[in-house]
Structure 1
Amino acid sequence: MDTMRDRFAPVISRLLDEDPRVAVVLAEIGVDGFAAARSRHPDRVINVGIREQLLIGTGAGLALTGLRPVVHTFASFLVERPFEQVKLDLGHQGVGAVLVSAAASFDWPAGGYTHMAPGDVALLDTVDGWTVHVPGHPDEAETLLRHAVAADDDKVYVRLSVQSNAHGLPVDGARLRTVREGRAGVVLAVGPTLDAVLDATEGIDVTVLYATTVRPLDTAALRRATESAGTDVVLVEPYLAGTSTATVNDALSDVPHRVLGLGVGRRELRRYGTVEEHVAAHGLDARSLRERIAGFMAGAR
């Protein structure tokens, strides 16, 4: 199966052909995938070199001229390193762009901690107005990339990963999907965590919701699920644990509830290992999730 990032350049290249407002800004990463598109649209495919602050600033400048910039590099270099530019050049100036990341939380362990960004979504939560898509399959990534570019002048972050569920689901860039129904609690799986969550909750009487758009979160669907399944909620996110806990707490602020936020831990893992070993070390494999979810739900009784 191809990866989410394998879909990125072909999808955006087609959009460059279809929409004269679309522009692409790169910082060396991913340049080869846009070679053909650059030959057709040399004024709208720009490589700024390894200059991540300039990457965001250039995207903002293009947006000020009326273009729809798609800006791409690894998550740590797209959100964390140039965050001042994200905050000021885009947010403060009131212009939008589509930031498309690669490498997710730890997709390239051999790259070390400089290439890991489990705090990216939490960092974007400190500024206003961002839509955040976290696809769990290449088909979903393709759909959400198109949604992001079509979102007028909004600020949109699309978080791509080599981690993937076995099958894609229909997504619309807004709503949660109910994948399994139960009556003893709600488990909200984000993006590529869904397959592990379904394996972990097999035989446990819980409702499983699936999110590929986490900002804004479809809190109306979450509330509807808790009306029949109860207000014990487990969040399973492929980035920093607890990132969406406050959002869920706010959605259920008028009813007694409990929330358990599972995700990537704050402790730095100082061994390269594999992606699968990092998943297990952070307790996001199916066996670990089952123990933590079952233990949490049992505590309500």
Structure 2
Amino acid sequence: MDTMRERFATTASRLLDEDPRLAVVLAVISSDRFKDAARAHPDRVIDVGIREQLLVGATGGLALAGMRPIAHTFASFLVERPFEQVKLDLDHQDVGAVLVSAGGSYDIAAGGRTHQAPGDVALLDTLDGWTVHVPGHPDEAEALLRHAAADGDHRVYVRLGEQSNRDPLHVPPGVFRTVRTGGAGVVLAVGPMLDATLEAVEGLDVSVLYASTVRPFDAHTLRAEVRRAGAADVVLVEPYLAGTSVPYAAEALADTPHRLLGLGTARRELRRYGTWAEHVTAHGLDPAGLRSRITAFLR
């Protein structure tokens, strides 16, 4: 199976053939994957070099000129390093673009802290009007990218990572899918966390919801499942900073007595290299770690 990043490059190249309004903006990262597309569309595959602020600035300029730009690099270089440009050149100018990151929270663990971005979604939450997709499988990544490219002039962030579920679960953008039902609690698994979550709650009487789009947050489905289950305990399992979506879940359940547990990447920095899988375990996001914390919370 190809990775989400590989699928992105293939899909974006095809989209350039299909839609003359699209452009891909790169900052060296993944440029080798767009060599053929650059030859076919030299005016719409733009590599600005190792200049991440310019990456976003050029994206904003293309949007102001009526294009639908797709900007791509690692998450730490796409959201964190050029955040001022994201805020001013996209949000303040009120123009649309598609930002597609790779690397997840710690996929490139050997690259050190500069290549880790568990706070990217939380940072975008400080801005207005962003749709955020977190696919859990390459097939989902392709579908969400195609939807984002055709999504008018909206601002969309597509977060890609190495971790993937075994099978795709196609869900309409902006909707949570009920995967299983129970009565002792509701667990919301985001993107690539679904398989680990299902393994973690095996034998527990809980509902599991799945989200591949977290912004907008599907308050309706969460609220309906909590009321159906008669459960007051809600757990969020996200592949980025723990608690990122807790305010949205709390708002959704403002008129319902409840308890919330947000699981994800800890704020504490792991000063180790290793692999992304080792980081998943170290943050307690593997099945064993999730089960331990979920069962303790439900007790």
TM-score by length of 2: 0.99
The alignment's C-alpha RMSD in Å is 0.6
2:158 matched residue in structure 1: 158
2:279 matched residue in structure 1: 278
Indicate conservation of the 8 Å contact 1:180/1:207, yes or no: yes
Within 5 Å, give how 1:233-272 maps onto structure 2.
233-272=234-273
After superposition, what is the alpha-carbon deviation per residue over 1:6-63, rounded to whole angstroms, capped at 9, x for unaligned? 1011101111111010000000001111111111111111000000000000000000
1:8 matched residue in structure 2: 8
After superposition, what is the alpha-carbon deviation per residue over 1:99-125, rounded to whole angstroms, capped at 9, x for unaligned? 000001000110001000000000000
Q: Tell me, in whole angstroms, the C-alpha distance in 2 between the residues paired with 1:68 and 1:231.
A: 43
Question: How many pairs does the alignment contain?
Answer: 298
Q: Tell me, in whole angstroms, the C-alpha distance in 2 between the residues paired with 1:265 and 1:90.
A: 29
2:202 matched residue in structure 1: 202
Q: Tell me, in whole angstroms, the C-alpha distance in 1 between the residues paired with 2:271 and 2:103.
A: 17
2:63 matched residue in structure 1: 63
Q: Tell me, in whole angstroms, the C-alpha distance in 1 between the residues paired with 2:150 and 2:73.
A: 20
Q: Tell me, in whole angstroms, the C-alpha distance in 1 between the residues paired with 2:170 and 2:106.
A: 26
1:86 matched residue in structure 2: 86
Cα deviation for residue 221 of structure 1 reads 0.5
Cα deviation for residue 231 of structure 1 reads 2.6
Residue aligned with 1:270, SS: coil
2:227 matched residue in structure 1: 227
Residue aligned with 2:189, SS: strand
Residue aligned with 1:261, SS: strand
2:172 matched residue in structure 1: 172
Indicate conservation of the 8 Å contact 1:143/1:171, yes or no: no
Residue aligned with 1:62, SS: helix
Q: Which amino acid aligns with 2:21?
A: R
Task: List gaps (5 residues or longer) in structure 2.
Answer: none
After superposition, what is the alpha-carbon deviation per residue over 1:128-172, rounded to whole angstroms, capped at 9, x for unaligned? 000000000001000000011111000000000000011111122
Residue aligned with 1:72, SS: strand
Cα deviation for residue 186 of structure 1 reads 0.2
Identity value in percent: 69
Indicate conservation of the 8 Å contact 1:95/1:155, yes or no: yes
Q: Which amino acid aligns with 1:294?
A: T
Q: Which amino acid aligns with 1:67?
A: M
2:292 matched residue in structure 1: 291
Q: Tell me, in whole angstroms, the C-alpha distance in 2 between the residues paired with 1:27 and 1:61.
A: 16
Indicate conservation of the 8 Å contact 1:134/1:212, yes or no: yes
Cα deviation for residue 275 of structure 1 reads 1.4
Q: Tell me, in whole angstroms, the C-alpha distance in 2 between the residues paired with 1:15 and 1:70.
A: 10
2:17 matched residue in structure 1: 17
Cα deviation for residue 274 of structure 1 reads 1.6
Indicate conservation of the 8 Å contact 1:196/1:285, yes or no: yes
Q: Tell me, in whole angstroms, the C-alpha distance in 1 between the residues paired with 2:267 and 2:46.
A: 35
Q: Tell me, in whole angstroms, the C-alpha distance in 2 between the residues paired with 1:170 and 1:276.
A: 24
Within 5 Å, give how 1:120-131 maps onto structure 2.
120-131=120-131
Q: Tell me, in whole angstroms, the C-alpha distance in 2 between the residues paired with 1:273 and 1:49.
A: 28
Cα deviation for residue 174 of structure 1 reads 1.6
Deviates more, 1:84-93 or 1:220-229: 220-229
Task: List gaps (5 residues or longer) in structure 1.
Answer: none
Residue aligned with 1:86, SS: helix
TM-score by length of 1: 0.98
1:186 matched residue in structure 2: 186
1:54 matched residue in structure 2: 54
